[in-house]
């Protein structure tokens, strides 16, 4: 466990070392590790020293990591122990700073006097290069400036108030922009002082000294699916009278939420506490995919804050406010973020386009892709949705849209969500299939 004072001291010492004259020509520094406290220290030190951090997925193949290292032109990297030998194998000249205390390359050998540290950078300077393949092909390096990240953090803390009593459970890998912004920067925002616990930390506290770092395969939508089906199994195993009571209460909860928005929450009372060591409560935030089954999860007492974003927006675009929740929506845009629906159809659905200080200037060394991202002063997300009473609703990806023979728009994501409610379906994918000699497509599960 690290206090804010300890984090500040260690970050300033490491940042001072990174500002040594001998390292003045190094601009980008890689960060390749599983989630751990040292990851956060290295990230803050790099950006504080006026350099650009390049977070890399520790679950990539060695060949994929090598491609990123070469594309970014990295000369220095922070790495966990399991990657040291691999990196040396394909980049013997790179300077490695190991996160392992027993390594001769341990990063603390670079520490200097914290009094020698002077923060460098402006809101326009590049803070991070995020390599992402998204859903559209080969990896791209998304440029995020200090201003992009700060604007997003400022918008999030304005939308969802937190303080020193809040404890965040970090589930996703920190190289994800969503997790680093919402599960790392947000609780550490000045004046907030929240605490962050990782899944691995909780597991270690339960299992003695066994270190368990490989938990990157945990994904929030999958986590929610498991929670949903576990709740359903408990209900189905209960005696008939209890099952009937639960069904009535769920129906009343649905009625309350559909007719009164956030007012329906009165049916549940205060959020149920889910205690695990120091974890005082559990609020769910969506990330990476739609949050499934919001009604039954909300009725269980878990607090949901569904949101929407993309790496190119640092990443949050919109999020539900605790006092104004519309089931199925992803909430209103953050303060300072403009959202417009481009080319809406008769139902109001069109491509979601965005602009604001949180939006990336584009991709590194990819002018054509940057031009496709930014058109007419708006960042084009490639996602489809509608705006209703200030709230944003997502219907799917533009490239996944199925147009029937009758010209009707079919959104496969909506069908998939319905299919996944069944206890007999583990995963579902819906896609369009053309029919020879006929117009339109037929949706195929």
Contact criterion met (CB below 8 Å) for 72 and 129: yes
pLDDT at residue number 324: 84
pLDDT at residue number 161: 77
pLDDT tier for residue 304 given thresholds of 50, 70 and 90? low
pLDDT at residue number 256: 61
The answer to whether residue 267 scores a pLDDT higher than 70 is no
Whole-number mean pLDDT of the chain?
80
The answer to whether residue 203 scores a pLDDT higher than 50 is no
Across residues 208-229, what is the average pLDDT?
Answer: 48
pLDDT tier for residue 290 given thresholds of 50, 70 and 90? low
Q: Which residue has the higher pLDDT, 52 or 236?
A: 52
Q: Categorise residue 377: left if φ over 0, alpha if ψ from -120 to 50, beta otherwise.
A: left
pLDDT at residue number 133: 61
Report the predicted TM-score, pTM, of the whole model to 2 decimal places.
0.78
Dist. CA 182–CA 283, nearest whole Å: 12
Dist. CA 28–CA 128, nearest whole Å: 8
pLDDT at residue number 218: 37
**Domains by residue range for the chain, with CATH:** 4-204 (3.40.50.12780), 401-444 (no CATH)
Across residues 89-115, what is the average pLDDT?
Answer: 94
pLDDT at residue number 316: 95
Dist. CA 248–CA 372, nearest whole Å: 50
pLDDT at residue number 401: 66
Question: Which residues, in sequence order, are CB contacts of 215 under 8 Å at separation 6+?
Answer: 34, 35, 199, 200, 203
Out of 83-87, 192-196, 197-201, 255-259, give the one with best mean pLDDT: 83-87
Dist. CA 182–CA 260, nearest whole Å: 28
Dist. CA 113–CA 381, nearest whole Å: 45
* Per-residue tokens: 393: 């609703």
Q: Parallel, antiparallel, or unpaired for β 303-305 and 283-285?
A: parallel
Across residues 18-30, what is the average pLDDT?
Answer: 96
Out of 204-213, 233-242, 366-375, give the one with best mean pLDDT: 366-375
pLDDT, one tens digit per residue, over 410-444 is 767 667 767 776 767 777 877 777 666 555 555 55
* Per-residue tokens: 380: 């084009």
Dist. CA 177–CA 56, nearest whole Å: 11
Listed as own residue / partner, the contacts of 138-142 with beta carbons closer than 8 Å and 24 or more positions apart are 139/64, 139/67, 139/68, 140/363, 140/364, 140/366, 140/369, 141/71, 141/72, 141/363, 141/364, 141/365, 141/366, 142/177, 142/311, 142/312, 142/360, 142/363, 142/364
pLDDT tier for residue 138 given thresholds of 50, 70 and 90? low
Q: Which residue has the higher pLDDT, 360 or 251?
A: 360
Nearest to 170 by CA among 20, 34, 296, 314: 34
pLDDT, one tens digit per residue, over 392-404 is 999 888 777 676 6
Out of 97-111, 169-183, 185-199, 237-251, give the one with best mean pLDDT: 97-111
């Amino acid at each position: 466990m690290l206090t804010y004072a300890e984090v500040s001291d260690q970050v300033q010492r490491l940042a001072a070392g990174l500002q040594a004259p001998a390292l003045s020509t190094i601009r980008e520094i890689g960060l390749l590790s599983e989630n751990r406290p040292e990851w956060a220290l290295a990230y803050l030190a790099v950006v504080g020293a006026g350099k650009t951090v390049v977070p890399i997925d520790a679950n990539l193949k060695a060949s994929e990591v090598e491609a990123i290292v070469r594309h970014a032109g990295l000369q220095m990297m922070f790495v966990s122990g399991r990657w040291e030998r691999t990196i040396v194998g394909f980049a013997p000249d790179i300077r490695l700073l190991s996160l392992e205390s027993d390594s001769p390359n341990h990063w603390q050998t670079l520490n200097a006097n914290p009094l020698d540290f002077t923060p460098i950078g402006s809101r326009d300077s590049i803070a991070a290069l995020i390599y992402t393949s998204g859903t559209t092909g080969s990896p791209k390096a998304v440029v995020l400036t200090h201003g992009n990240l700060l604007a997003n953090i400022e918008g999030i803390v304005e939308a969802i108030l937190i303080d020193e009593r809040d404890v965040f459970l970090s589930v996703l890998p920190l190289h994800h922009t969503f997790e680093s912004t919402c599960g790392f920067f947000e609780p550490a925002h000045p004046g907030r002082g929240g605490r962050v616990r990782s899944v691995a930390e909780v597991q270690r506290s339960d299992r003695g000294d066994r270190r368990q770092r490989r938990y990157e395969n945990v994904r929030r939508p999958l986590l929610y699916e498991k929670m949903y089906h576990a709740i359903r199994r408990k209900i189905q195993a209960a005696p008939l009278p209890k099952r009937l009571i639960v069904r009535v209460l769920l129906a009343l909860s649905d009625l309350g939420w559909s007719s009164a928005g956030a007012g329906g929450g009165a049916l549940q009372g205060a959020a149920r506490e889910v205690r695990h060591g120091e974890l005082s409560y559990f609020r769910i935030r969506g990330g990476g995919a739609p949050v499934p089954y919001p009604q039954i999860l909300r009725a269980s007492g878990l607090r949901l804050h569904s949101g929407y974003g993309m790496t190119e927006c640092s990443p949050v675009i919109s999020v539900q406010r605790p006092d104004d929740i519309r089931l199925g929506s992803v909430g209103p845009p953050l303060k300072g973020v403009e959202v417009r629906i481009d080319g809406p159809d008769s139902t109001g659905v069109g491509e979601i386009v965005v602009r604001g200080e949180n939006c990336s200037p584009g991709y590194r060394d990819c002018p054509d892709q940057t031009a496709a991202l930014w058109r007419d002063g708006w960042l084009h997300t490639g996602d489809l949705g509608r705006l209703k009473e200030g709230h944003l609703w997502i219907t799917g990806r533009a490239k996944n849209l199925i147009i029937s023979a009758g010209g009707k728009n079919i959104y496969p994501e909506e069908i998939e969500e319905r299919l996944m409610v069944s206890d007999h379906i583990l995963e579902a994918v819906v896609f369009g299939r053309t029919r020879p000699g006929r117009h339109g497509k037929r949706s195929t599960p």
